[in-house]
């Protein structure tokens, strides 16, 4: 399935840095989004956590809707929730361009991914650091994107787990002839971004490296320089 129109703007670009809005000032969400758009970010990553699948609790459809009202840039929505199938339509209606679910949920990932595509969004499948890639491989035909977690899902600000690099490299080999995005999330900063790109990451989700900085523009530029210095991540088929 082709990526939906907004996500198509960055689907064929690599590498792309996406701010994770988990650490933003939600009291001024539209301003935060506007500031980041002004310094050149190309989309936004929204982490939805339910307090069950992961121990943390964040936000749901209203924040995705608010983000959608604030920007026409792509919204990459990561569902860290126990029963994502119940909410896929609601998140698609809220404005998600990409919806990612976890391979570790009890529901059938193939059915979830197919349902996401039918709703007109790109379908992503995420795996935690402790999850072996053979759990992911059977579902690659249903994926538009694979998200490799480089920290355990649930909280921002955790250190980068380098085991994610081996997963990225293996996934890039499996998907080298496919138009499939590889994404990494967790501990991404100017020190870890080059390795992530070199091992296959197309999209890099960064939270602390942006929102705990004193200046969004310099933080985004530093991430872009670090990621770009490693060169394009996609291998020629």
Residue with tokens 């994610």: 164
Q: What are phi and psi of 184, to 5 degrees?
A: -130, 145
What whole-number distance in Å separates Cα of residue 98 and Cα of residue 83?
Answer: 17
Strands (E), the chain: 16-19, 44-49, 75-80, 98-102, 122-127, 145-149, 181-185, 203-206
Active site residues: 47, 185
What whole-number distance in Å separates Cα of residue 9 and Cα of residue 76?
Answer: 13
Q: Torsion angle, CA of 47/148/144/54, rounded to 10 degrees? A: -40
Q: Which two tokens stand for residue 112?
A: 């979830």
In angstroms, the first-to-last Cα distance of the chain is 19
Integer-rounded Cα Rg, in Å, for the chain is: 16
């Amino acid at each position: 399935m082709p990526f939906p129109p907004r996500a198509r703007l960055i689907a064929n670009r690599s590498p792309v840095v996406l701010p994770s809005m988990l650490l933003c000032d939600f009291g001024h969400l539209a301003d935060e989004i506007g500031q980041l758009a002004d310094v050149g970010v190309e989309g936004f990553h929204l982490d939805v956590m339910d307090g069950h699948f992961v121990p943390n609790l964040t936000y749901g459809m209203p924040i995705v809707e608010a983000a959608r009202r604030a920007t026409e840039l792509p919204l990459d929505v990561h569902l860290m929730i126990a029963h994502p199938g119940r909410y896929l339509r609601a998140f698609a209606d809220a404005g998600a361009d990409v919806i990612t679910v976890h391979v570790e949920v009890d529901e059938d990932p193939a059915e979830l991914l197919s349902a996401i595509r039918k709703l007109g969004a790109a379908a992503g499948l995420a795996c935690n650091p402790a999850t072996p890639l053979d759990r992911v491989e059977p579902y690659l035909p249903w994926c538009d994107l694979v998200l490799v977690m480089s920290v355990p899902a649930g909280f921002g600000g955790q250190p980068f787990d380098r085991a994610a690099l081996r997963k990225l490299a293996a996934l890039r080999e499996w998907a080298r002839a496919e138009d499939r995005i590889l994404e990494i999330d967790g501990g991404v900063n100017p020190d870890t971004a080059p390795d992530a790109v070199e091992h296959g990451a197309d999209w890099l989700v960064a939270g602390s490296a942006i929102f705990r900085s004193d200046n969004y523009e310099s933080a985004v530029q530093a991430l872009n320089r670090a990621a770009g210095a490693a060169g394009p991540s996609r291998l020629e088929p």
